[in-house]
Every structure is written in C-alpha cells, then in structure tokens.
Amino acid sequence: MSEQLITRDLTCVPTSRDPGEAPDAAGSGEMDCEQPIFSALSEARDTAAPSGGGAASPAATTSDAESEVLSGECRLCAEHESELDWFCRTEQRLVCSQCAVAGSCHGHAVTPLAARVAAVRNQLVDVCEKMQLQAQRIERFSDQTLTAKEQKLQAAASRAREQVLAQVSAVREALEEEEQRLLEEVQREEERVEQCLLTQKAHWSQALASLSQTRSRLVHTLTDSPDEQLATSVQDIAERVEAAEGVGEPCDTDQLSMNPRCSDSKLLRGLWATAVLLGPKAYGSYLKFDQRTVSPLLSLSDDFCTLTFLYKKPRQSPPYDPARFDHWPNALGSLSMSSGTHSWVVDVGQSGAFKVGVCYASLERKGSGNEARLGYNTQSWVLSRYDGDYSFCHAGKKVPLQVVTTPQRIGLLLDWPSQTLLFYELDSSTVLYSVTQHFSAPLLPACAVTDRSITILH
C-alpha cells in the first residue's frame, strides 16, 4: 500500500502558506479529494513517470519519500541544504522550495508537504472507513442473507423430497392397482378359456361315444344281418347315418384361445416404454446405419449415425451392391433383432419428411415398386411424417396419428417375446403408437428421409 499512496495526485484543502513561499509551479494548489479512493490508489504508479529534464527517481527514493511523508521526518536537500518541505508529484519525491522554484523540479507539479501528508491521512481514513463498512456488509450478508438462504435451501430440499416420495408413491400405488387389475383380468380370461375347453372336451367326448356306438351298430348290421333283413333296414340305416352326420366337424375358434388384450394396459405400456427409453439404461444399443444399404439419394455421416437427403442427385452413383436401395431414399440399421428387448432413439427434429421403423432383412432393395417402399408392403412397419401429418404404415395401409406437439426425438421399442413394436415421443413421454404382430423373421431398423436429416442418438 505504501508504494501506491505516493504515486497519485491526492488533494485536500490546502494549508495556509507564507506569501514568500514558492508557488505551485504547475498552478495546482489543490488536489482532487473527490476521486474514488480505490481507483486513486490503484492508478498511482501510472502517474509516477518523470518529466523530460528531470532524472527518474529510483524505487528506493520513492519508498523513502513515502516513508518521510507518513512519518513526518524530514531531511535536508542535498543540493540546497534546505528543508524538504515540498512534494514533487511529477517525480514522486520530497524536494525543497528552491528545487521547486528554480531547481530540478522547476515546472513540475509540486505540493506543500503538510498538504500532501494531510491528504494521504484523509485518504487512509476514507479507506479504513470503507473497509469497515465493507466488513459490516459482509457480516450482515453472512448473518442475514446466507442464513436465510440456508433456511430456504433446507425448506426447498424438504419439499423436493416430499414431492419425489409423493410422486413415487402415487406411481407405485397406481402400478400396484394396475397389476392387481391385470392379474385378475388374466385369471378371468384363463378361467373362461378353461371352461370353454372343458365344455368342448365333454361335448366331443359325448359325440365320439355316440359316433362310435352308431358305427358299431352299422358294422354289426352290415356283417351279421341276413340279406332279407339288410334289404328292409334301409330306413333304419339312413336314420343312423343322418344322426352320425349331425355330430359335425370339430374346429378351432377364438373362444378356445386366450385373448392377448386381457393383459393390455395403456398405463403399464407407457410406464414400460418410459422406463426403457428414459431410464438409466436408455440408449443401450449402439446402433448405426449399414452403409451398404444407404440409397444414392442419401449421404451418411462419418459416424454412420446421420442420414441427410441430397436435393440434387449425385452425378456418380455408388458401386452396385445387392444390399443397397437404388430408388427409394431408404437405409437399414446394422443390428439384427430376433430375441430380447431392443430400443433406440432417432432425432427427427430437423426433418419434415421421414420414416422410422423396422423391416425384414428380405425386404426388396431394387426398383421403384412398393416392394421396396417402406410401409407399403407386408415386410415393413414404420411411423411416417409427410406434409405435416403423422401415420403408422404397414402393408400399404395408413393409421392416422394424433400428435399434440411436433416430436423432436422418437424412440422405438421392439420387444420380441411379446411381439410388440412401440413408437414413443420422448419429450412428452407419450406412446405414439404400438402394434402387436407375429414377426416370422429377424428384423432390422429401417429409416427413410426426404427432407434434411435424421440422426440415431446414443
């Protein structure tokens, strides 16, 4: 601090001086007392450069001058042997009156030593007062603001914990109730089918016994009856044959099978999809596009995860590959799925026209027919967006979808054991569509895009 105090023009109300004393050579009898103390102290060294004719004061001289100013000790001028009762602001040192008037500091900005000392003391008083006020503000901030913040933090954390527990409790209660409802529904469906089977078994057992009895009698009539009796038994034989034909043919019906929808639950399906696609193991499969399948109308990023539609057809087509789509802007994923549960997420926020879904590996790759067009054949299942409308497409049939908000990320979940394909909107945690289908062969992720790009997220 001591080195900073002497390197700035600090002023206060000037002390009286004798008429014979040397005037301020620079005409500045006062210093600017209103300058902020911290800026005044911090800029001190910038004003310490000596003028052209005077010799630069070394650091030791400056330090000594400052020490003399603050301590009140004065030495004699080495050149004039006069009292050092003036302060040269230009060279930042103590000088005598003769140095100030006609000596080495002639023309410099000089100040009476007493005024300089008073200004420095006043300045130090201001600094101490400001430090005291700052300390009080810090204490008040620590005692009041931080304490209040800590209390608010504890209250907010307590509310957050209560909210988490309440939400989890509500979900757990809803799940338990849904579990009980579904298990009871499955039990009722099992009992219904079991009763149908018992009824059918009893009916066909009775029919079999009747048929066997009728057949035995007819065989007996055929083998043991005399010709005269056989000739006159035509009516009796016809009645027995008609009764046997009335037994009918056994056939399987839906009543003999359990309805798979008895275990269907919108709540459970949504929570299941949310847990898989947003849970701690989300984005589990490192899926990428198979570059061999990518249409010439698309470009594939270096990480094999982004498809971009090419508005201008490339001049040179890629080398022929039987796996490549040559007309429709399609591409297939590299993961073959025939067991377990698989999920992946596609960022579609940049595209206004796309398809995402699955298909059999045997899907046609060549030509402009529907056999190679996703969603227009029996080998592909896709969610499509075109002209602002969303739909589920399979075998050329479209199911319109009501979408509240434009999906940015679409999750796909394929559960092979239940033969379920589900499309999920991550930002709103909404199941867009689900289909239960008997998949007869391994499936591949399938995509198409005709506007900008789509990306598989990991």
Which one of 23-37, 110-124, 228-242 scores highest in mean pLDDT? 110-124
At 306 the pLDDT is 96
- Are the beta carbons of 437 and 368 closer than 8 angstroms? no
Kindly tell me the burial class for residue 364, based on how many C-beta atoms sit within 10 Å of its own C-beta (0-12, 13-18, 19 or more): middle
CA geometry: angle at 413 spanning 411 and 419, to 5°? 155
- 41 has pLDDT over 70: no
- 18 has pLDDT over 70: no
Using a pLDDT cut of 70, give the percent of the chain over it.
83
Closest by alpha carbon to 384, among 334, 330, 337?
Answer: 330
> What is 270-457's CATH superfamily?
SPRY domain (2.60.120.920)
Q: What is the dihedral of CA 209, 213, 215, 219, to 10 degrees?
A: 150
Q: Residues with Cβ < 8 Å from 282, sequence gap 6 or more? A: 276, 343, 345
What confidence tens digit (pLDDT) does each residue in 351-400 have? 999 999 999 999 999 999 999 999 999 999 999 999 999 999 999 999 99
Helix axes 266-278, 147-224, angle to 10 degrees: 120
Local confidence band at 73 (pLDDT 50, 70, 90 cut-offs) = low
- 441 has pLDDT over 70: yes
Which one of 17-21, 88-92, 113-117, 441-445 scores highest in mean pLDDT? 441-445
Higher pLDDT, 282 or 365: 365
- 424 has pLDDT over 90: yes
At 14 the pLDDT is 38
Worst-scoring range by mean pLDDT, 14-18, 171-175, 440-444? 14-18
Spatial separation of the C-alpha atoms in residues 359 and 357, rounded to whole Å: 7
At 180 the pLDDT is 95
- 439 has pLDDT over 70: yes
Spatial separation of the C-alpha atoms in residues 305 and 447, rounded to whole Å: 11
What confidence tens digit (pLDDT) does each residue in 170-212 have? 999 999 999 999 999 999 999 999 999 999 999 889 888 888 8
Local confidence band at 31 (pLDDT 50, 70, 90 cut-offs) = very low
Structure-block tokens of residue 52: 């052209």
Local confidence band at 55 (pLDDT 50, 70, 90 cut-offs) = very low
At 88 the pLDDT is 94
Q: What share of the chain is helix, strand, coil (3-state, %, to 5)?
A: 40, 20, 40
Q: What is the DSSP string of 20-47?
A: TSPP-TTS--S--TTS-HHHHHHTGGGG
At 26 the pLDDT is 36
Closest by alpha carbon to 311, among 329, 324, 330?
Answer: 329
Mean pLDDT (whole number) for 6-17: 37
Structure-block tokens of residue 29: 């009898």
At 315 the pLDDT is 66
Spatial separation of the C-alpha atoms in residues 217 and 241, rounded to whole Å: 11
Residues in the chain: 458
Domain boundaries, the chain: 2-124, 270-457
Instruction: Report CA-CA distances (Å) from 349 to 110, 375, 407, 408, 429.
Output: 73, 21, 7, 4, 16
- 313 has pLDDT over 60: yes
